[in-house]
Amino acid sequence: MSAVGEVADPSMGMVKSTAIIRDDDGIITVSSDNSIRVWLKRSNGQYWPSVCHFLTSAGRKIKIDHDSRQVFIGQESGTVQLFELSEDLNVLASKRVFNSHDVPVNDLALCKKKNWIISGGADGTISISEIGSGVKVSDYRCTIVPKNIDIDAESGVLFCGTSEGSIILVRISSDGICSEVNKLQGHTSEITSILWEPKTNFLFSCSTDKTIMCWDIGGKKGLYLRLQGHQDIPISLSFKDMSLYSIGSAGNCICWDMTKQRSAPPEWTESDSCEICKGPFFWNFKQMWEEKTMGKRQHHCRKCGKALCQKCASNQIVMPKLGFEFSPVRVCKSCSESVSDADKTSLAKMTSFNRQCINIEIDNTLSRVATINRNKSISLFNLEL
């Protein structure tokens, strides 16, 4: 992990979103003062703005298409504005305004196959517009508000991460008609980022529940993996060379080797008494009364899924093959003995940027990371693990 530079300008307000410019050392920011700025690294190593425009309302999300140099800004007002960045990075020309929503834009996705810009609004609407003509293709209201979206252009499926932890799959027909076709339930709280990886047909999601889910969408077997290892909240994901990178709100970065065989942890069983010592749990009044004993708290063995008391599940180990990295988790005695030292070998690597981040952007072509920090600065790093 190596630091590349820092952008700090107290006049620009709170930065809401950033995009990394690929063919030169620079970034684009939008912030609460309604500005959109292009920052370029100068010969003295510092970043200075080459462009500063003011929008009619604050930008919330930037999406950049590196091939066409098109920059899309989803705004507080609900509009999506398209700019074109000149070759010399000194001009950001306004090209089009899409009246996508009446409420703030939560996220943007590009469908290059159809030349569509797709946006999710804070009221749950998905808006699709044709980029070339500016014509709106369709509006669709999801049953749950999408916080973040990503598209599989090949199959026309839009993945929508919601604030309650589910992921809605919306199929978009070739003429833009949307319909919800599936819902993935795995996280217990707000989805912070979602990433569709077309080469492997994996969908990755991360959440304020601190876990990362890997959904095997293409395999159509309904398989999923749960990856746990973040002490902070993972908020950004990237995939490169069969490695998944996740970066959290305290700057912890984990590189998960996805060529390694993992399996999903077991479902937790339900029981009114410990499945090993048979002692009653605290809600099992009948058994407590009969045995004149105190009820116990319920825990679960992360390997066999059994419902157990504290005493019968007191061993703590890491189990990378079940996705439990870095922090030991609770298991029963026989499961603890069944895991060899070799099976405890980590299948991931961790490092830290040591930043308190509110937002993180990763460009996996450059292996470049931009963190928007709580102290309003932006830090740039090269992602090496």
The contact set with Zn ion (CB under 5 A) reads: 274, 276-277, 301, 303-304, 309, 312, 332, 335
Contact 348, 320 (CB under 8 A): yes
Contact 116, 136 (CB under 8 A): no
Rounded to the nearest whole angstrom, what is the least distance from the CB of residue 305 to Zn ion in the complex?
A: 7
Rounded to the nearest whole angstrom, what is the least distance from the CB of residue 322 to Zn ion in the complex?
A: 11
Contact 190, 208 (CB under 8 A): yes
Looking at the Cβ atoms of 237 and 332, the one nearer to Zn ion is: 332
Contact 35, 51 (CB under 8 A): no
Looking at the Cβ atoms of 128 and 313, the one nearer to Zn ion is: 313
| Dihedral sign of CA atoms 226, 232, 237, 241 in order | negative
Looking at the Cβ atoms of 254 and 322, the one nearer to Zn ion is: 322
Q: E strands within 102-144?
A: 105-111, 116-121, 125-130, 136-141
Cα–Cα distance measured from residue 272 to residue 281, given in angstroms and rounded to the nearest whole number: 6
Rounded to the nearest whole angstrom, what is the least distance from the CB of residue 313 to Zn ion in the complex?
A: 7
Rounded to the nearest whole angstrom, what is the least distance from the CB of residue 280 to Zn ion in the complex?
A: 10
Cα–Cα distance measured from residue 47 to residue 337, given in angstroms and rounded to the nearest whole number: 55
Looking at the Cβ atoms of 13 and 305, the one nearer to Zn ion is: 305
Contact 179, 156 (CB under 8 A): no
Rounded to the nearest whole angstrom, what is the least distance from the CB of residue 301 to Zn ion in the complex?
A: 3
Rounded to the nearest whole angstrom, what is the least distance from the CB of residue 279 to Zn ion in the complex?
A: 5
Looking at the Cβ atoms of 31 and 284, the one nearer to Zn ion is: 284
Provide the 10 A C-beta neighbour count for residue 256: 26
Pick from 314, 308, 312: which is nearest to 275 by CA?
A: 308
Looking at the Cβ atoms of 269 and 365, the one nearer to Zn ion is: 269
Return the SS3 of 158: strand
Rounded to the nearest whole angstrom, what is the least distance from the CB of residue 382 to Zn ion in the complex?
A: 42
Looking at the Cβ atoms of 152 and 275, the one nearer to Zn ion is: 275
Contact 206, 191 (CB under 8 A): yes
Give CA separation, 56 vs 76, 105, 125, 228, 368, in Å. Answer: 9, 14, 22, 42, 30
Looking at the Cβ atoms of 253 and 335, the one nearer to Zn ion is: 335
Rounded to the nearest whole angstrom, what is the least distance from the CB of residue 276 to Zn ion in the complex?
A: 5
